[in-house]
Amino acid sequence: MEHYEEIDRLNTRLQWESRGPLAHLAGEAADALAARAKALAGWVRENAEELPLVSLLCAFQLGFAAGRWGSRRAKY
């Protein structure tokens, strides 16, 4: 019985150490990225309400740039 408890304890410790600081850093990076994306979405929303024509022009330019940035095979 004591043997199985020791194996379980070591397995738990191994799993904990395998995640370690890398998982913690990845979680923090994902949280920071999500916060930045949320702030950017709020900024875009505010500007779209205040200056709708300028926002429409910017969206058109971004769409045009994305279309031009596509694969070169489509041209041939």
> Distances in Å between the alpha carbon of 33 and those of 16, 21, 26, 54, 58?
25, 18, 10, 26, 23
Q: What are the E-state strand segments in 1-76?
A: none
Instruction: Tokens for 56, please give them.
Output: 């429409």
pLDDT per residue, tens digit, the chain (76 aa), is: 677 888 888 888 887 777 777 777 888 899 999 999 999 999 888 988 888 898 889 889 988 988 888 766 555 5
Entry pTM: 0.52
